[in-house]
Amino acid sequence: MAQGILKDTMANAMLVKDLAEVAKDTALLHGVQIRVHESPNSSEVVTYAPITLFPSPVPKSAFYQALAVQVHYNTLVDKISQDADFLQKALASTITVDNFTARLFKIHQQVLEEGKAQSIVLGLNRSDYMLDQKNEGCPTLKQIEINTFAASFAGLTSHTPHVHRLLLFLIKSNHHPDILVHGVGYGPVFSGHSERFTEDLSFCCRAIVMFLVEENQINIFDQRCIENELWKRNISTKRKRFRDVSKTGSLDPDRKLFVDGQEVAVVYFRNGYMPQNYQSEQDWQARLLMERSLAVKCPDIGTHLAGTKKVQQVLSQPGVLEKFFPEQPQVVEQIRSTFAGLYTLDMGPEGDKTIEMALRTPGLFVLKPQREGGGNNLYGAELQQVLQEVKGSEERMAYILMDKIHPTPVQNILLKRDAPLKISTCLCELGVFGTYVRKGREMVLNKCAGHLLRTKSSEHADGGVAAGVAVLDNPLLL
């Protein structure tokens, strides 16, 4: 019923135009905003974040499957981050050819050699999925990746339902209030559960939560949502950059971290997941300083490495999940059922077989480097070209190969700044946020913290919201 109403509405050009204006105004009113840099010499402009005009249909069973498995993914990521031997073996081939991953791994080794100063771990991650319609029957939930570092849009997605609820009301859609579910995100996790570990950090009056951010931040309002939750509870925050830490950062004899003379209780990394984030050797030294400190890191270096593509591929091998969940076959099955096919490109017969398979049918696969931030994956002719170039060298070990997911297309209208209003054939990607806090060996918090739906035109093979390709959406559960 709801789908039919939305389809009829999209066919009415005048109504679409009016609704689009309401959607933009409502988005700005509720803080669904991004910062736009017009040009290097112009002033900053705030505009509505890109969003769909209507919520997109998502099967209810797959949606709740993704929510249910998230606590197990939280546990898995945390266990991997603590297993130095596993990380060493999993990343051994990658760090020989990928300098960025090698630098991160070197910091991990340095921290372990010195001894971790902080036993508290704060995890905020997001597991991303698409619904694979490759086989006949019901679409199956397949994981694209898990983001353990700077998993974004938890703030904005908690506000987007306001937009779609109003639009559905205006077109008199008889949707049930619970069908359009809230994308809560993990904004309150710092504050709502901070009392579980703040005493150990002398948090209450002196220390701050430090957001490590980029030089030029477009997605600032997403971060402000989290900051607001902290401010409501009288928890101080500061936004700093690598250069700030490099210039004024220091450790006292107890390894407490100070930046600009102020003690830092928690370092929340929103920057540092791409090679270009490190502009100098001083930036790398600043990262090491923070990792060595008593401050809680979100994520710490082990958790950062746990989110690499190579670790994702190794986890798909027989017997690996069982290592982390002994005598828990149901948990293993829940996680494994979300895996797409993942294949090694290491040197040797297995990697050679992967190369041959991909070159024979490149349209069935995605070639993934060890990079985050969107726009890095290779498809089709590009995949074929790169594999031809690296197939005989160790350079191929910088990548993994994954089955290409074939989601069911949906129709929607994508609202982007200065873009024409038109009906597009779209593909949806569901993200599920997870939060956890571990103190020593005790997991004191482990929960699914909401979801994010992003939608892009089917003409784009790769790219997220920050890359200017996808837009924010909400699931209309069917």
To the query of whether residue 442 is one of the catalytic residues in this protein, the response is no
Whether residue 254 is annotated as binding a ligand: the answer is no
The three-point CA angle 93-94-96 to 5° equals: 70
405 known member of a binding site: yes
Residue from 24, 165, 224, 454 carrying the catalytic annotation: 454
Question: Which listed residue (126, 142, 240, 396) is catalytic?
Answer: 126
Which one of the listed residues 106, 134, 238, 373 is annotated catalytic?
A: 373
Rounded CA gap, 6 and 2, in Å? 6
454 is in an annotated binding site: yes
Helical segments of 270-378, H only: 281-292, 301-306, 309-315, 320-324, 329-336, 349-360
Catalytic residue among 372, 396, 431, 434: 372
Q: Is 373 a catalytic residue?
A: yes
Helices 99-114 and 281-292 sit at what angle, rounded to 10 degrees? 40
CB 339, CB 320: distance < 8 Å: no
7 annotated among ligand-binding-site residues: no
* Reduced DSSP (H G I as helix, E B as strand, rest coil) percent helix, strand, coil of the chain, to 5: 40, 25, 35
Catalytic residue of the set 24, 142, 292, 368: 368
Q: Look up tokens 């051994």; give the residue.
A: 92
Name the active-site residue from 152, 158, 277, 474: 152
462 annotated ligand binder? yes
Catalytic residue status for 368 = yes
Q: Catalytic one among 142, 145, 287, 292? A: 145
> According to the annotation, is 413 in a ligand binding site?
no
Between the two ends of the chain, the Cα-to-Cα distance in Å is 10
Active site residue 270: no
183 annotated among ligand-binding-site residues:
no
103 assigned to active site = no
Q: Please confirm, yes or no, whether 152 is among the known catalytic residues.
A: yes
Residue 147 assigned ligand-binding role: yes
126 in active site:
yes
| Residue 403, annotated as binding a ligand | yes
Query: For residues 146-168, b (16+ Cβ closer than 10 Å) or e, as one string?
Result: bbbbbbbbbbbbbbbbbbbbbbb
Residue 147 annotated as catalytic: yes
Query: Of residues 142, 287, 309, 310, which has the active-site annotation?
Result: 309
Determine whether 309 is an active site residue: yes
Annotated catalytic residue within 147, 158, 246, 316: 147
Strands 365-369 and 44-48: unpaired
439 is in an annotated binding site: no
Give the single-character DSSP code of 410: E
Binding residues for substrate: 126, 223, 454
Binding-site residue set for Mg(2+): 145, 147, 372
Feature table: binding site: 126, 145, 147, 223, 309, 368-377, 379, 402-405, 429, 454, 456, 462
Q: Give the catalytic positions in this structure.
A: 126, 145, 147, 152, 309, 368, 372-373, 454
